[in-house]
Amino acid sequence: MDNICAIILAAGDGKRMKSEMPKVLSEVLFKPMIKWVIDSLQKVNIDDICIVSGYKHNELEKYLMSIDGHFLTTIQKERLGTAHAVITANDFLKKNIDKDVLVLNGDSPFIDSETINKSYTFHKSNRNSATVISAKIKNPFGYGRIIRNEENQLSKIVEQKDADKNTQLINEVNSGVYWFNVKSLLSVIFDISNNNAQNEFYLPDAISLLIKNDERVGAFSVDDENIIKGANDRVQLNQLNNIAREKVLLNLMRSGINIPFTDGIIIAEEVKLGDNVTIFPNSIIKGKSIIGNNCTIGPNVLLDNCVISDNSTVQFVNYKNYKN
């Protein structure tokens, strides 16, 4: 994509995770959540990326140096809300003044390249100053509600704490992912107030200010509510791992991989499997492992960064290739 940049909000700590590392480094299917987000951006050729770090930023920066890509980082020294986080990337925005920027969260790993592409097409075709990615979910409690007018256009976003009974019945919610025209964003972001219960500066208020200024805004709704899910604690992280695991296994079976029983089978997204492969229970395959054609893996196998030759049977093995 041309003329596009992105800001990833990644300043959160792992307090509710009971973790000592930045929250975005918590892993889903053996991969840090922020890497899922970066991979989706890179798949659509968004390479101009600013990452807003905070808690233990040195650890996050060290991780970023270990992966492909060049990232600008900025530090949100005080966590004063999502709009405040974006303000810390002010220099990055000014440098990209003539572009559109995608603002997204580093702890919501399932935002995919298809959603990014489709939402940007919607954003540009409607000549919007801002576009919110939304989703209809079964349990909207805690999310900001998307309010549409009679023409089905976005009129405002109402946070849970401000929602009356009728508004709480609305199940279309704000994902926390936004497209902004950079000039339009900079025209309102410094006018956002922290006059709220948390005394924080919230990015959805930029939408309200743009609407007040008669600029075009919209909401692009996705069909899969998993796309907007994030994790604040270990329970939610477990849910994300289960979603990712099931998606990988379903895709493999649809591609012809024989998995008679899925019990205890965990396969990382980046693993490559050949034709006519059978996987038996309690098999974990991770890293950049490559499984050849006509192989049988399992039961009771752990393979990490391993290459298995064609026509092999691997059972009751725990092996890691430390060279990779």
CATH number assigned to the domain comprising residue 78: 3.90.550.10
What is the number of structural domains in the chain? 2
Q: Which residues pair with 166 in a beta bridge?
A: none
Kind and range of the H or E element at 286? strand 283-286
194 and 291 fall within a common domain: no
204 and 312 together in one domain: no
Residue 292 sits in a domain whose CATH number is: 2.160.10.10
267 and 223 belong to one structural domain: no
**pLDDT score at 178:** 98
Q: Please check whether residues 307 and 221 belong to one and the same domain.
A: no
Split the chain (324 residues) into runs of 10 and give each run's mean pLDDT: 91 86 95 97 96 94 93 93 96 97 96 96 97 94 91 88 89 96 97 85 93 95 92 94 97 98 97 98 96 97 96 90 62
Task: Write out the H or E segment, with its range, that includes residue 241.
Answer: helix 234-254
Residue 28 token pair: 């889903």
> What is the length of the chain?
324
- Which pLDDT belongs to residue 322? 61
Question: Taking a C-beta distance cutoff of 8 angstroms, is the pair 218, 132 a contact?
Answer: yes
Q: What is the pLDDT of residue 231?
A: 92
Which pLDDT belongs to residue 25? 96
Assign 296 to helix, strand or coil: strand
Residue 200 belongs to domain spanning: 4-228
Could you say which of 228, 246, 266 is where a domain stops? Answer: 228
- Confirm whether 242 is domain-assigned: no
Note whether 152 and 294 are same-domain residues. no
Tokens coding 90: 């002010």
- The pLDDT of residue 19: 86
Residues 26 and 67 in one domain: yes
Residue 187 corresponds to which amino acid?
Answer: S
| 136 assigned to some structural domain | yes
Residue 130 lies in a domain: yes
172 with 260, same domain: the answer is no
